[in-house]
Structure 1
Amino acid sequence: MLDHTGIVVSDLAKARLFYDAIADTLGLATKSNSPESFLFGRSAEEPIPYLWIGTTRPSYWAEGSRAGLNQMHIAFVAPSKEAVDAFHSAAIAAGGRDNGAPGPREGAGDYYGAFVLDPDGNNIEACVRGAAAG
């Protein structure tokens, strides 16, 4: 189970614009955390799991690491195919780059997803499984 994860970005304002745009499509929200970071998750009432997004260099980074150097992949659960479509559209409109248009994925069973690259090249996905993917 996911408790939290985090990504380092090079431009917090661009990242905030991107994640604000996709939040509503997935039933999520952004919340300021500090001048150098914000959180992406469900709500203040349900704070975990969350994604920390910020510009601060983590203490655990290996020498030479930087934002976007090692692409991260994060998949968010979407409630429907329509939400996946809306996620993809919102992400592109907010500066993301297409990395896999909405649709079923071969060999994945009842699965419908979309992939975008955020402003730092992290692979962000929204997907729905099961009957809702049909």
Structure 2
Amino acid sequence: MRLAFTFRGSIRGGVSGFWPKFTGRQSYEAVPRKDERSYFERVYAVTRQVPRGRVTTYGAIADYLALGSARMVGWALNHSFPYADVPAHRVVNRKGELSGRLHFATPTRMQELLESEGVRVEDDRVVDFERLFWSPAEHLPEDAF
């Protein structure tokens, strides 16, 4: 016997926060949990807290949210461009490199945005990264997002 499974709903906000629901017709429906924000929304909420002139890392956000890998944070931020209030340019890799720069409108846009906030960038790397690093775990309440 072959079962038919259909996916209904949207995962635009991310895959976390959805679970399959049996609809009675041998199909599953994606239903958002009412008591939780989606993974993307949580990543965006933390990213919005990064102050101008500071940077954080994909891994620092992932560790703070305890929801997966740094790559998942990067994936979420790659989908943040319709939301002008999400400062994705302030998130860099663990070495301070602008690894997400190619996902911006132009390859230099991430650097331009950082420099407009007073962050120096040389060779696609944040200068004085350790001093400018902003840790969500140190600056935000535990489980705030």
Whether TM-score is above 0.5 comes out as no
With a CA cutoff of 8 Å and minimum separation of 6, indicate the structure with the bigger relative contact order.
1
TM bucket (normalised to shorter chain) is under 0.3
**Which protein is richer in strand relative to its size?**
1
Q: TM-score, normalised on structure 2?
A: 0.24
**Which protein is richer in helix relative to its size?**
2
- Larger Rg computed on CA atoms: 2
